[in-house]
Amino acid sequence: MISSKTEYHDYLNQDKKALGIKSNGLAGKIMSYFSPNHIWKFQKTMRKLEYYTNCKNRGLNKFYVLYLRYKFKNISLKLGFSIPINVFGPGLSIVHYGTIVINRNTKVGSNCRMHACVNIGASGGESGAPQIGDNVYIAPGAKIYGTITIANNIAIGANAVVNKSCEQENVALAGVPAKPIGSVDIKKIIKHI
């Protein structure tokens, strides 16, 4: 969770690196004007909202926070995301836009790479949601739900349904219901770590 301006800039830099965005000066700004990266715009808005909500939500800044919430809601609707703030650690990489639904009680560590049609939530009206470690790859269509814990360095396969905790690190989870199917070198999947 962002708690200072330094952390805010660190989160932005790590997200930018995770998305493979390079700063190319004036040429990069011109290209981003004609061909904007909507996911990067979403993540920048999300991080700014997190920073202002957590650190500067006093006085006149409350009006700016309201504006940021409005802007964040609009871009979320445009991309099909239902992702609350203060859920993801630094280094988030959302690969495609499309339906992604995340419960507000979920916590995900650093360097998460996630595809479209992912659903992470509570189970049966419970308030508890998944707690996911660092360096986790979530393939398209994965469903992760319940009061469960997912360890670090995990790859979750396409359309997997994860409803039980996995404390074992460096494994791939797949199937319905998901179970470990083998070991994985997460650095081959998430390149920026």
pLDDT tens, position by position, 63-93: 999 999 999 999 999 999 999 999 999 999 9
What is residue 32's predicted lDDT score, i.e. its pLDDT? 72
Mean pLDDT, to the nearest integer, of 174-191? 94
Indicate the pTM of the whole model. Answer: 0.92
What is residue 149's predicted lDDT score, i.e. its pLDDT? 97
The rounded distance, in Å, linking the Cα atoms of 86 and 104 is 8
Strands (E) in the chain, as ranges, are 81-82, 93-94, 100-102, 107-108, 113-114, 118-121, 131-132, 136-138, 143-145, 149-150, 154-156, 161-162, 171-174, 179-183
What is residue 24's predicted lDDT score, i.e. its pLDDT? 67
My answer on whether omega of the bond before 177 falls inside 30° of 0, hence cis, is yes
Q: Count CB neighbours of 67 within 10 A.
A: 12
Residue 126: which pLDDT band, with cuts at 50, 70 and 90?
Answer: confident
Q: Are 3 and 54 in contact (CB under 8 A)?
A: yes
Mean pLDDT, to the nearest integer, of 3-13? 96
* CATH homologous superfamily for the domain 93-188: Hexapeptide repeat proteins (2.160.10.10)
What φ, ψ does residue 89 adopt, rounded to 5°?
A: -75, -175
Using the predicted structure, report yes or no on whether residue 23 has a pLDDT greater than 80.
Answer: no
Using the predicted structure, report yes or no on whether residue 39 has a pLDDT greater than 80.
Answer: yes
Domain-by-domain residue ranges, the chain?
Answer: 5-80, 93-188
Residue 177: which pLDDT band, with cuts at 50, 70 and 90?
Answer: very high
Residue percentage of the chain with pLDDT more than 70: 99
Mean pLDDT, to the nearest integer, of 155-174? 96
